[in-house]
């Protein structure tokens, strides 16, 4: 748990994932060093319309903070209702939120 998460918890705040309906959280593990990384995709502002067909996409380049600087490329595809329909990753692997650990 990071410093700001501890401050929020001490003040009765919530974790960033809780109840944030405008966000899609992505959790990955770096394929080179194994560091876990998370990022937030703002479903209102981070998505671009797909050129063909209906729906949206976004691309994120994630780099860890501690062990290495290997880029992890994440491509996310959403339908017209902003529901995830496909995800692709290069340089790492997707993990579940429960497997994410702040180092």
Tens of pLDDT along 34-93? 999 999 999 999 999 998 878 999 999 999 988 788 999 999 999 999 999 999 999 999
Q: How far apart are CA 46 and CA 27, in angstroms?
A: 17
**DSSP H/E element including 3:** helix 3-10
- Which residue shows structure tokens 């692997």? 93
The structure tokens listed for 84 are 């995830």
pLDDT value of position 62: 97
Beta carbons of 7 and 73 less than 8 angstroms apart:
no
- End-to-end Cα separation, the chain, in angstroms: 8
Confidence class of residue 14 from pLDDT cuts 50, 70 and 90?
very low
Q: How far apart are CA 101 and CA 84, in angstroms?
A: 24
pLDDT value of position 13: 40
Q: Give the mean pLDDT of 26-39.
A: 95
Q: Does residue 19 have a pLDDT over 70?
A: no
């Amino acid at each position: 748990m990071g410093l700001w998460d501890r401050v929020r918890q001490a003040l009765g705040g919530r974790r960033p994932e809780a109840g944030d309906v405008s966000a899609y959280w992505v959790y990955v593990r770096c394929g080179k060093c194994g560091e876990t990384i998370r990022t937030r995709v703002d479903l209102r502002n981070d998505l671009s319309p797909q050129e063909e067909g209906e729906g949206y996409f976004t691309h994120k380049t994630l780099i860890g903070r501690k062990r290495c600087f290997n880029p992890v490329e994440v491509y996310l595809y959403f339908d017209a209702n902003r529901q995830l329909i496909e995800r692709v990753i290069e340089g790492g692997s997707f993990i579940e939120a429960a497997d994410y650990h702040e180092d």
